[in-house]
Structure 1
Amino acid sequence: MPAAGIVNIRRDVDDKFYRYRMPLLLTKIEGKGNGIKTVIPNMSDVARALSRPPSYITKFFGCELGAQTPFDEKNDRYIVNGAHDAIRLRELLDGFIDKFVLCASCKNPETDLNVVKNGRREDIFRDCKACGERTNIDMRHKLVTFILKNPPKNPKKSKKGKGEAANNGNAGGVHASGPTIPGQEEDGSGGDTDDELTRKIKAEAADLTNDTVLGDDDWAVDTSTEAVKARIKTLEGQMGGLSLPGGDDDGSEDDADSPYSQFGRWVEEHRGQDGIGSVQIYRKAEELGVEKKHKAVLVLVQALFTEDIVEEINTYNALLAKMITSEKHQKALLGGIERLAGLTYTKLIPAIPKILMALYQNDVLDEEVVKQWGTHVSKKYVDKETSKKVRKASEPFLKWLEEADDGSEEE
């Protein structure tokens, strides 16, 4: 399946710092004549980002197009009969999002879809976790019949309290959190543990220290013509997956004029330019009043680093040391790495051990923080599958840490 780009869930929002994102819907025409059909190979990924069952979206397309929509959930195959243009289906997807995902009050996609019985009547509501409003679904739409016959599953009960699920009464619900919707869980608590990480570490760490030699702890940046050209070449069109989490008390991550959005845009626009190094970036953070905020670290990682991150960590080690001053900052740093490697530069996933080693050798990451991160899957910064993938790739570094500890104890 070809790789899908990442787009805002609300495609009317142009801000690339908008935190709610999903894969771009892909289509594939198969067959011919009366047997022609449109297959949607990444329907499950799109549906997962919206936290709605893929069958709902597929049936919605059928309702709007007057077409049959056979699907096989077991084999992850979703079809709309007939030949349909990808652009048209993406427009219809926008309609589905507007009618069945976005809160009618605040237009936030962070909603639960609930079916509530009212005597003999059943109603469908969107419960918004952002503004608290409960808004009605248009019960006249043809998809409503399918939803009532196939109600959404109850959301999982969180460790923070079983009362949240109980508040739904006899309602079924599913929560729209998307792959980049943060703030649902704290790192290392509330996320599902990937037991396989603690059971087996397969890869070896003998060559982890290669290409991770420390740079001098100064505030300089390589501004040679070759270095600048190399960085600029990797910058073009690479910031599609940038988004911001909640947590600090000033500025909204959905606001293009927030200090975090301004900081991220400035770093993205000026990185690699002559004379722009650690000092200039830190001064910009000071100017915007975010130099001590952990959210600024998350933005910095996504805006500053490229596929050459291992070398860039050594270049900007003084900046990282200056801005990362607590465990919370380190967790934001790791969250930024998850997004950078898991969403923006997926080719970096095999290099996760080297990235962690470079951060560790530069005294930016503490051993206990990275160990806890490596053994606990969290949906705070990326979706669960991406979180697992990134942590799985970190196994060689975790093994190296364990062996280093064992060696110290034996001595």
Structure 2
Amino acid sequence: MLDTHHKLCTFILKNPPENSDSGTGKKEKEKKNRKGKDKENGSVSSSETPPPPPPNEISPPPHAVEEEEDDDWGEDTTEEAQRRRMDEISDHAKVLTLSDDLERTVEERVNILFDFVKKKKEEGIIDSSDKEIVAEAERLDVKAMGPLVLTEVLFNEKIREQIKKYRRHFLRFCHNNKKAQRYLLHGLECVVAMHQAQLISKIPHILKEMYDADLLEEEVIISWSEKASKKYVSKELAKEIRVKAEPFIKWLKEAEEESSGGEEEDEDENIEVVYSKTASVPKVETVKSDNKDDDIDIDAI
């Protein structure tokens, strides 16, 4: 029999051992406390299911998104819709598109002008497109090279007739523009190279046609005749063209000399001696001529 009055029994009764159930409850309580702290810090245990989002944050089903994307790509492809979209392009975007051409090389810009002129000819509207052509050349900043392009597109073995037909086109480039006139002469060399058999003997007549049409000035023609260049045709052909042009060059120089001599005589004739009553020495005055060369009105041609 256990003596309940024994000191050891009395101590055990006053201090009983903790049972397994109470230990388990304490651990669960500590675990819940840890989870509560995790929620306060914004973290969720992997074993827990996150709470559902609020109604206003619910994502649409995948098929709804796909349908919306399909609607975005399903643009109206009618001609009217396409024209309307083109009209909606801002002026700024158009300016950027045009400025892109100016960033190209000179050769690329000349090719753009060539395609522009060629298209006008193919469409059958080249005769009335002289203003548009010079405007495009100015936009591309290759106006001086315009005659080089025009000769390639508009001239062939019938060049003498075509000079008269397209005089207005060339005059818009060559009038008071010596650089453009030099490019016209280089273009002529290229045309002769393509139709050498038909044109080589007609060089003096072709130059005379261009000179009479006010497309070339004396100074430019004489300067061109003094130096053959192999930049556009072979050196041999360039020399031959200038040899064939000698009769016209000679006539041009003689006409220029006669014109210079005539101007000096005119100046002498315009000097009048006026006798003054108050002086013993005659007073010399120059009488200005009223005759002036009228500027060429290209639009009136």
* TM-score, length of structure 1 as denominator length: 0.35
Larger Rg: 2
* TM-score, length of structure 2 as denominator length: 0.47
Bigger proportion of residues as helix: 2
Bigger proportion of residues as strand: 1
